[in-house]
Amino acid sequence: MPSFETTLPPRLSAGDTVVAVATGFPGSKVPPEVLSIAELRLSEMGLGTTYSPNAFGNDGKAPTIEERASDIHNAFTNSSYDGILSIIGGYDTNSILPELDYEMIQQNPKTICGSSDLTSLLNAIHAKTGLVTYYGPHLSTFGQQIFDEYTRESFESAVMEDKPYILPISASWTDDKWYQDQQNRSDHPNFGPWCIQPGYHESDSIGGNLASLNLLQGTEFFPEKDNPIVFIEEIARNGLGFFVRSLHSLAQSQRIGGLLIGRMQLGSDINQENLSECIASVKLLKDVPVVANLDFGHTLPMSTLPIGGTIRVETDYDQSTITIINH
């Protein structure tokens, strides 16, 4: 696989416009009031919002593969847009990867951010162009009436500022269906990161949703790196067995220099004890620093992390510090 020089996209700033795209599910799955609130939240950051031509699909159906690819091309090449946000996730974003013109994307670098199923697109773009992409909130994530400042501040630190920053630790977290009932929110105290294996490592980063990242194994779209920091998260319904076998597979395909694991959902059967046993079973992770219960994944709040940036992990059983250096 050819290697590309890492490229940081221009920072977003007040007055810029972000275009929302649908790469999996159609935007019609998001309630209109959620989108309205999201547009307001972005405007409070000085950002305007618009939507790609096929963002809402057709009669409730997702845009076709060709329509989704066309929207990505338009998002990167249209000079009216300064950044790109996914509206929502899905399950087949990887279907559009062979349809994309990566040279066109490389020649028109822009900030692109999303999470979950967007993992495949974000890592593929970095692998094929060298452009740093961002694993963080969807547009719909900003649609909460009771919004957490952590998510907003992390997004701003990652895509609107150019200085290193330490990944903060949230005071509390939620795993509720807020999009169905905006007022019925349930907070849980955050007791901080879990140091699974102590150590220090600094390197380039790749990652996202574990199942979606593993879809890229053996393809030209997997971002091969030298001992990267890998950050992963997984949805509750996949469970411990799925997580264990998926982690073995990832470690066999990519030598990992440091591992960051996002917070598990309430319905997950994964806890600190069995996660530690899982990590110990992966001999390819021996002596690799591992930190879990971090603020990214399918719970809120959600930090924004660079794919292709530089991250430093310093962890022991008393304290863990994650520094985002180059983003």
84 is a domain residue: yes
pTM over 0.95: yes
Here the CATH number for the domain that contains residue 318 is 3.50.30.60
Here the CATH number for the domain that contains residue 89 is 3.40.50.10740
Q: Which of 132, 164, 196 is the last residue of a domain?
A: 164
Active-site annotation holder among 39, 154, 203, 233: 233
Please indicate, yes or no, whether residues 252 and 129 belong to a single structural domain of this protein. Answer: no
39 is catalytic: no
Please indicate, yes or no, whether residues 201 and 299 belong to a single structural domain of this protein. Answer: yes
Please indicate, yes or no, whether residues 176 and 86 belong to a single structural domain of this protein. Answer: no
Please indicate, yes or no, whether residues 249 and 282 belong to a single structural domain of this protein. Answer: yes
What is the number of domains present in the chain?
2
User: Which pLDDT tens digit goes with each residue over 273-305?
Assistant: 999 999 999 999 999 999 999 999 999 999 999
298 is catalytic: yes
Q: Which pLDDT score, from 0 to 100, does residue 135 have?
A: 98
Tell me the percentage of the chain whose pLDDT exceeds 70. 99
Active-site annotation holder among 126, 138, 201, 298: 298
5 is catalytic: no
Tell whether the model's pLDDT for residue 147 goes beyond 90.
no
Please indicate, yes or no, whether residues 176 and 320 belong to a single structural domain of this protein. Answer: yes
pLDDT band at 59 (very low <50, low <70, confident <90, very high): confident
Please indicate, yes or no, whether residues 184 and 242 belong to a single structural domain of this protein. Answer: yes
Determine the structural domain holding residue 289 and report its residue range. 172-326
11 is a domain residue: no
**SS (HEC) of the chain:** CCCCCCECCCCCCCCCEEEEECCCCCHHHCCHHHHHHHHHHHHHCCCEEEECCCCCCECCECCCHHHHHHHHHHHHHCCCCCEEEECCCCCCHHHHHHHCCHHHHHHCCCEEEECHHHHHHHHHHHHHHCECEEECCCCHHHHCCCCCHHHHHHHHHHHCCCCCEECCCCCEEECCCCCCCCCCCCEEECCCCEEEECEEEEEEEEEEEHHHHHCCCCCCCCCCCCCCEEEEECCHHHHHHHHHHHHHHHHHHCCCCEEEEECCCCCCCCCHHHHHHHHHHCHHHCCCCEEEEECCCCCECCCCEEECCEEEEEECCCCEEEEEEEC
Please indicate, yes or no, whether residues 55 and 142 belong to a single structural domain of this protein. Answer: yes
Q: Taking residues 309-313, what's their average pLDDT?
A: 98
Tell me the percentage of the chain whose pLDDT exceeds 90. 95
User: Which pLDDT tens digit goes with each residue over 92-123?
Assistant: 999 999 999 999 999 999 999 999 999 999 99
Q: Which of 131, 164, 197 is the last residue of a domain?
A: 164
Q: Which of 123, 148, 164 is the last residue of a domain?
A: 164
